[in-house]
Amino acid sequence: MWRYQFGTAALGLFIAMSLAALPAHAQGAPYPERPVVVISDAAPGAGPDTVIRAIGERLAKLWGQQVVAVNHPGANGSIAAHAAAEAANDGYTLYAPALSAFMALSTIAPNLPVKLPRDFLPIGFAAEQPMFVAVSPTLGVSSLPQLIALAKKEPGKISIASTGIGHISHLTGMLLQERAGIKLLSVPYTHGPASAIGDVATGRVSLIIENYAGIIGAVKAGQVKLVAVASMDRLPEFPDLPTMAETIPGFTATGWSMFAAPVGTPAPIITKVSADLIKVENEPDLRKKFAAVGVYTRAMTPDQVLAFVAEQQKTFLPLVRKIFAK
């Protein structure tokens, strides 16, 4: 019941066909009566996209209606934001932005429609991916305290792979340097962790900070060594892996995505979708499937999502502004 559609023209054609084939949404009629579109700024197959798709499959089963993924990657997420903001606010077009939409995007394009609740109404949380610190076996460290001590001893010499300027992996590295009082040498890569992991494995680059899905192959092959994870608590799947907060109190950093709707979407629809999201995200099989690749659901009400985004902005926006002020 789930499928992909690409581009604005495809989205317009799909919606037009749906409206022509189905009666108008009657006052008080059950929601949803027809397919629901979810606009995302993620590329097909990327981490956030797979999360949205998995949740969408379960919503489709619950609703008995298709949940149609419309992928608008590129332009730092501005294409997706515009498409979602300009959609009808009838509940049949939802928006699934990632963290970057509220950090880098809101900084470099302050007039873009990505503010909550001015432009979009929060519905619920999708999932989060804690950032893992993985070092080269050649570096000779086995813990975060050892890494910090070495970086203090050799400021600016320990290199870190940067796989996306302004993305959470990059921001986590900056936050680590700020909170630990160290200076790392940033080595940029333009094609994600896959383009960097080989250099970390061989020692050309000292470390990488990334979600587990991005480095899982190298970890299992013993090519890189995990030394810490930026989750709030130790993860059940990694009970012996310390959190970063055990060394730097209060330190957390996760990639995340959420669900929202264009402003003006009826409150009963927001309430229903929020409740249904919480229902499917609490399904044990989904949680197990996600946890195997380092993804974790965290059910939230709309108010909790709003507070969560505000707290994340408080942590990361100062770092983003430093990046784009240069």
With respect to residue 145, please indicate whether it lies within any of the assigned structural domains.
yes
- When pLDDT is averaged across residues 188-201 and rounded to a whole number, the result is 89
CATH number of the structural domain spanning residue 51:
3.40.190.150
Give percent of the chain above pLDDT 70.
88
Give percent of the chain above pLDDT 90.
67
Indicate whether 231 pLDDT > 80: yes
* 113 touches 119 (CB < 8 A): yes
- When pLDDT is averaged across residues 246-257 and rounded to a whole number, the result is 96
Among 187, 216, 246, the domain-final residue is 246
Indicate whether 8 pLDDT > 70: no
**Same domain (yes/no): 317, 260:** yes
Q: How confident is the model at residue 102 (pLDDT cuts 50, 70, 90)?
A: confident
Q: How confident is the model at residue 75 (pLDDT cuts 50, 70, 90)?
A: confident
Cα separation, 238 vs 170, whole angstroms? 23
Indicate whether 187 pLDDT > 70: yes
| Of 105 and 153, more confident | 153
Among 246, 264, 288, the domain-final residue is 246
List, for residues 32-45, the tens digit of each pLDDT value. Answer: 999 999 999 887 87
| Of 230 and 322, more confident | 230
With respect to residue 24, please indicate whether it lies within any of the assigned structural domains.
no
Query: Hey, which bits of the chain come out as E strands?
Result: 2-6, 36-40, 67-71, 93-96, 120-135, 159-162, 185-188, 207-211, 225-229, 254-262
Residue 262, CB-side half-sphere exposure with 13 Å CA sphere:
18
Q: How confident is the model at residue 126 (pLDDT cuts 50, 70, 90)?
A: very high
Among 224, 246, 268, the domain-final residue is 246
- When pLDDT is averaged across residues 156-181 and rounded to a whole number, the result is 91
Q: Which amino acid is at 304?
A: Q
Cα separation, 284 vs 290, whole angstroms? 10
Cα separation, 254 vs 210, whole angstroms? 9
**Same domain (yes/no): 144, 237:** yes
pTM higher than 0.85 for the full model? Answer: no
List, for residues 253-292, the tens digit of each pLDDT value. Answer: 999 999 999 999 999 999 999 999 999 999 999 999 999 9
Backbone angles phi, psi at 70, to 5 degrees: -115, 110
Instruction: Map residue 238 onto helix, strand or coil.
Output: coil
**Same domain (yes/no): 93, 152:** no
**Same domain (yes/no): 118, 140:** no
Residues of the domain holding 154:
130-246
Of the listed ranges 16-25, 26-35, 126-135, 304-313, the one predicted with least confidence: 16-25
- When pLDDT is averaged across residues 39-58 and rounded to a whole number, the result is 88
